Amino acid sequence: MKLALGHLGTEFAPRLCIVDTDTGKYWGGNAWTEDPKQAELFTDFDDAFEQLHLLMIVELPGQLFTFSIPLVVEVKSCSAITIDTVKKWMKDNLQLMISGSGPENSTAMIHLEFSEIKDISYKITIEELRALLFPSPVEEVDE
């Protein structure tokens, strides 16, 4: 069993669904079905992903391992940027993809915990940074 998000609907009304790519069956909300018309449809990626994540935990055999990796986003702006602005921008625009199956023929998923976002900005001005990166040469003094 390999679970993935699939696309149903039309160009004007796109919908997401959950598919077992091994069998071609669709998640119908309570059971698997071969009929795409019976698939549970989602208009929101986050809702679809949450259901896919739960199904992965419940339906797939084996033990669940969880790992985390830091993701650093640097934003350079002429005006102040708040953490809430960055969080909304990331939720609206950031996409991460996994190519292929997980390690050792497992199934892996990536999800971002936006509630964990922190401001780790350097508390230094551009001028101070320039001085650190490009120090002025020291003139030698004759004795």
What pLDDT, on a 0 to 100 scale, did the predictor assign at position 34? 96
Cα-Cα end-to-end distance for the chain: 80
Which residue, chain included where needed, has tokens 């230094």?
Answer: 124
Q: What is the distance of C-alpha 97 from the center of its chain?
A: 8
Q: Which of 54, 59, 58 is nearest to 21 (CA)?
A: 59
Structure tokens at 99: 């190519």
Q: In this predicted model, what pLDDT tens digit does every residue of 25-77 receive, in sequence order?
A: 999 999 999 999 999 999 988 889 889 988 888 887 788 888 888 888 888 88
Q: In this predicted model, what pLDDT tens digit does every residue of 80-133 receive, in sequence order?
A: 888 899 888 888 888 776 656 678 777 777 777 777 888 877 677 778 778 878
The DSSP output letter for 24 is: T
AA identity, residue 124: I
Q: Which residues pair with 18 in a beta bridge?
A: 5
- 3-state secondary structure (DSSP) of residue 25: strand
Measured over the CA atoms of residue 19, residue 20, residue 24 and residue 29, the dihedral's sign is: negative
Does the model's pTM come out above 0.75? no
Query: Which residues, including other chains, have CB under 8 Å from residue 73's CB and lie 6 or more apart?
Result: 86, 90
Q: Which of 6, 8, 30, 10 is nearest to 19 (CA)?
A: 6
Q: Which of 67, 50, 55, 54 is nearest to 102 (CA)?
A: 67
